[in-house]
């Protein structure tokens, strides 16, 4: 879309108002660091190069950029040595551009809701006016507190941007048109303008916004592009972070609803999650990371899915937790199941309440319906794991594997001490501690023999009662 355009995204500031040890642009919105979104928007707009200006918290931000956009080849970082203001930051980004032809789009790393289209609209306005050197987005709302205001002359031409702290008169304070911070400038002009900046303002900083008055003072035209205010909110503090997070999650939910997904109020679907048609997500479920959910699956109240791969027609009953795991088609999980990393639950398998799995595979139709710990297990198709079963996978030093064959039956309250294998179709008697392999088709039973003493209960009660009475008398 945007040829010969370099995006410069500013992300080197201190982010003081966040009051955090984490750099501002790494705070999460809909599950991703803030900075993800502006970079994504620049690429979506079709910029052929993206320079992210970093400084404060540089290593961590660079690491994120490298890990998430490193293979793209278009995204680079540049370093602002000291946080001397947005103008200075822009200069360090623009300095990496070796030529003077084409243009640059500059915007802020703390404005995550804007999209490629919002950027492209400003670029288009500059294209449409060859006599202009700069186009800027502008927004108009009733309460623009905190934002730079757009100052226009009597004939309505943009003259300058004045920061909140530099507003002088009531007339200036009453201006409702503000600067959301998308600038598209011809490169030659921009380089000149940036080298002219002076820090003579309330904050003693080099303001990027001063490129506007630089242009107008020498008679160059600046085009204002009316833009959507609701996507231009910047994140300066945690309250604004919450506002933007809410808006981003609402946008994501809206998208999936148009794709045939039912998402109840209060459910949270983060960026990057993929949902099939006729999926239902009930209230207070949270889906994050690379989670995907297949057609027709139901994710009931309070489930938490992180990097979960959930197949078609699966039912996750309330309050089940699935992390880094796979649940295949039509399986039924929960309520209150906990699938820990590397669990693979096969088609039509059942995992019931208070069952915890970790690095365990259950083949098609296997069942563990109640109260079990299944760690490092390989469970065959159709096997039944009784209530209270424990795979004793850890000897204090190493983890070992428990194998349960196809259609095997593990009676309730059994312990399988790994490494151990139960053969296909074998049967484990209730309450057995299995320490040796069980051959296919065998019954393993290991419990103390039961003895019945006829009439003993009555005799025992009489004796205990007498003991209690004689103790009372001697008090
Ligand atoms: C800025 C604009 C303001 C606009 C608002 C829109 C200026 C002077 N003001 O104000 O007109 O209405 O954004 O959201 O530009 N940064 C650096 N290096 C620095 C300082 C800041 O890289 O030395 C980065 C920050 O990391 C941040 C962005 O620039 O991502 C904006 O800085 P911030 O201090 O938040 O500016 P605002 O006060 O919001
Ligand atoms: Ca800001």
Annotation marks residue 370 as catalytic: yes
CA distance 148 to 163: 4
List all residues 6 or more positions away from 22 whose beta carbon is below 8 Å from its beta carbon: 57, 60
Contact indicator for 27, 241 with CB cutoff of 8 Å: yes
Contact indicator for 296, 315 with CB cutoff of 8 Å: no
Closest CA to 351 of 365, 337, 330: 337
The ligand with the least distance to the CA atom of 15 is 1
The pLDDT value recorded for residue 223 is 98
Which is it for the CA torsion 15, 17, 19, 20, positive or negative? negative
Cα-based torsion angle of the residue sequence 338, 340, 344, 350 in order, rounded to the nearest 10 degrees? -10
The pLDDT value recorded for residue 357 is 98
- Ligand 1 centre distance from Cα of residue 245 (Å): 19
Residues flanking ligand 1, CB < 6 Å: 10-13, 53, 80, 83-86, 88-89, 108-111, 147-148, 161, 163, 178-181, 207-209, 234, 236
Interval 19-71: pLDDT, tens: 999 999 999 999 999 999 999 999 999 999 999 999 999 999 999 999 999 88
Mutational test site, ligand 1, from 8, 11, 13, 164, max ligand atoms within 8 Å of CB: 13
**Strand 103-108 and strand 5-11: pairing?**
parallel
The pLDDT value recorded for residue 91 is 98
The pLDDT value recorded for residue 74 is 95
Query: In what helix (H) or strand (E) does residue 292 lie, and over which residues does it extend?
Result: strand 292-293
- Ligand 1 centre distance from Cα of residue 1 (Å): 27
Atom of ligand 1 nearest to the CA of 203: 8
- Ligand 1 centre distance from Cα of residue 2 (Å): 24
The pLDDT value recorded for residue 3 is 76
SS3 label, residue 381: coil
Interval 133-185: pLDDT, tens: 999 999 999 999 999 999 999 999 999 999 999 999 999 999 999 999 999 99
Contact indicator for 14, 82 with CB cutoff of 8 Å: no
Interval 369-409: pLDDT, tens: 999 999 999 999 999 999 999 999 999 999 999 999 999 99
Q: What pTM was computed for the model?
A: 0.93
- Whether 267 shows a pLDDT value over 80: the answer reads yes
């Amino acid at each position: 879309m945007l040829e010969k355009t370099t995006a410069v995204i500013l992300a080197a500031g201190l982010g003081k108002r966040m009051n955090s040890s984490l750099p501002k642009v790494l705070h999460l919105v809909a599950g991703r660091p803030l900075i993800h979104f502006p970079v994504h928007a620049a690429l979506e707009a079709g910029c052929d190069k993206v320079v992210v200006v970093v400084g404060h918290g540089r290593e961590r931000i660079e690491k994120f950029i490298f890990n998430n956009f490193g293979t793209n080849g278009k995204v680079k970082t540049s370093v602002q040595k000291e946080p001397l203001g947005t103008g200075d930051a822009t200069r360090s980004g623009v300095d990496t551009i070796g030529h003077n032809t084409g243009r640059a789009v500059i915007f802020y790393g703390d404005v995550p809701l804007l999209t490629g289209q919002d950027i492209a609209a400003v670029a288009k306005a500059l294209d449409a006016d060859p006599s202009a050197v700069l186009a800027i987005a502008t927004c108009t709302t009733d309460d623009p507190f905190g934002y730079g205001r757009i100052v226009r002359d009597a004939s309505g031409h943009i003259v300058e941007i004045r920061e909140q702290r530099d507003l002088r008169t009531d007339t200036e304070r009453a201006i409702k048109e503000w600067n959301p911070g998308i600038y598209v400038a011809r490169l030659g002009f921009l380089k000149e303008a940036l080298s002219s900046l002076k820090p003579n303002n309330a904050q003693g900083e080099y303001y990027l916004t001063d490129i506007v008055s630089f242009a107008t003072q020498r008679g160059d035209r600046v085009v204002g592009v009316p833009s959507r205010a609701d996507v231009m909110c910047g994140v300066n503090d945690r309250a604004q972070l919450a506002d933007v997070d809410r808006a981003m999650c609402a946008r994501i939910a809206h998208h999936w609803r148009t794709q045939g997904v039912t998402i109840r109020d209060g459910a949270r679907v983060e960026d990057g999650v993929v949902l099939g048609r006729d999926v239902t997500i009930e209230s207070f479920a949270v889906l994050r990371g690379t989670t995907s959910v297949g057609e027709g699956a139901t994710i009931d109240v309070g489930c938490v899915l992180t990097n979960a791969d959930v197949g078609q027609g699966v039912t996750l009953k309330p309050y089940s937790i699935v992390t880094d795991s796979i649940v295949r088609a039509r399986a039924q999980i929960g309520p209150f199941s906990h699938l820990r990393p590397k669990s693979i639950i096969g088609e039509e398998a059942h995992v019931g309440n208070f069952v915890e799995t970790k690095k365990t595979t259950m083949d098609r139709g296997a069942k563990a319906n109640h109260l079990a710990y299944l760690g490092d297990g390989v469970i065959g198709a159709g096997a039944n794991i009784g209530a209270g079963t424990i795979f004793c996978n850890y000897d204090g030093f190493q983890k070992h594997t428990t194998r349960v064959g196809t259609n095997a039956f593990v009676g309730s309250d059994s312990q399988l001490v790994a490494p151990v294998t139960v053969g296909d179709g074998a049967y484990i008697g209730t309450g057995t501690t299995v320490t040796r392999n069980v051959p296919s088709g065998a019954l393993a039973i290991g419990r103390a023999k039961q003895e019945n003493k006829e009439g003993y209960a009555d005799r025992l009660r009489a004796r205990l009662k007498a003991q209690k009475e004689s103790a009372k008398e001697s008090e």
